Amino acid sequence: MGRVSTATAAAPHAHQHVTVNRPNTVSVGTIVWLASELMFFAGLFAMYFTVRSVMPEEEWAAQADNVSLVFPAINTTILVLSSVTCQLGVWAAERFQPVRTGSLLQVNRWGMNEWMTLTYLMGSFFIAGQIFEYAELVEHGLTISSSAYGSVFYLATGFHGLHVVGGLIAFLFLLGRSFRAKRFTHHEVTTGLVVSYYWHFVDVVWIALFAVIYLLK
């Protein structure tokens, strides 16, 4: 009897399950993909500095003077702030709060949908501002084929702009999925998380581009 009791007492410990927190495969895949995108932008930076090193200083300065600083700085500020609103949307998603719980003016009670919609609008403003800047530069004679400086300027900023447009499409997908979902689950949270990874990446890359192209010109 004593031996049976001992075995019975030890049985629960023998059948205990140890849970393992595995990394989210979608998040890991997104990070790996962003690493490859980082290499792509590294190539653009290498192209920019290579052209700058072989181009005569006077010619480079004459072309760079066509690029103003004030409006791009405002545009950059809006894009950087959009990362803040995007992260606030992620935190709302992690609280499983897809929509606001108060009036539209009560920002502290916004849900993921409101914050991500605001982020989308700010990103759209950035793209509109970039198009406006391109139009101004073309009027001043700076085009992609006018000089080597024009080529690297439009290629670097243009490819980044395409990535921003890709992020805006991702926000539309995220919001559409959230509105269609009958229940806000971990799947919607994960979607919001990976979209935020991409958006933060796009913002960090632009900060580097802004510093190189507009501040160090």
Contact 216, 69 (CB under 8 A): no
> Hey, what domains does the chain have and what are their CATH numbers?
24-215 (1.20.120.80)
Cα separation of 215 and 68, whole Å? Answer: 10
Tens digit of pLDDT for each residue in 42-86? 999 999 999 999 999 999 998 999 999 999 999 999 999 999 999
Contact 87, 118 (CB under 8 A): no
Tens digit of pLDDT for each residue in 116-165? 999 999 999 999 999 999 999 999 999 999 999 999 999 999 999 999 99
Q: pLDDT class for 28, splitting at 50, 70, 90?
A: confident
For position 24, what pLDDT does the model report? Answer: 72
The angle formed by the CA atoms of residues 146, 38 and 88, to the nearest 5 degrees, is 110
- Average predicted confidence (pLDDT) for the chain: 88
Which residues contact residue 125 at a Cβ distance below 8 angstroms, ignoring those fewer than 6 apart?
75, 78
Helix (H, G, I), strand (E, B) or coil at 139: helix
For position 38, what pLDDT does the model report? Answer: 92
Which tokens is 112 given?
């993921």
Cα separation of 58 and 171, whole Å? Answer: 43
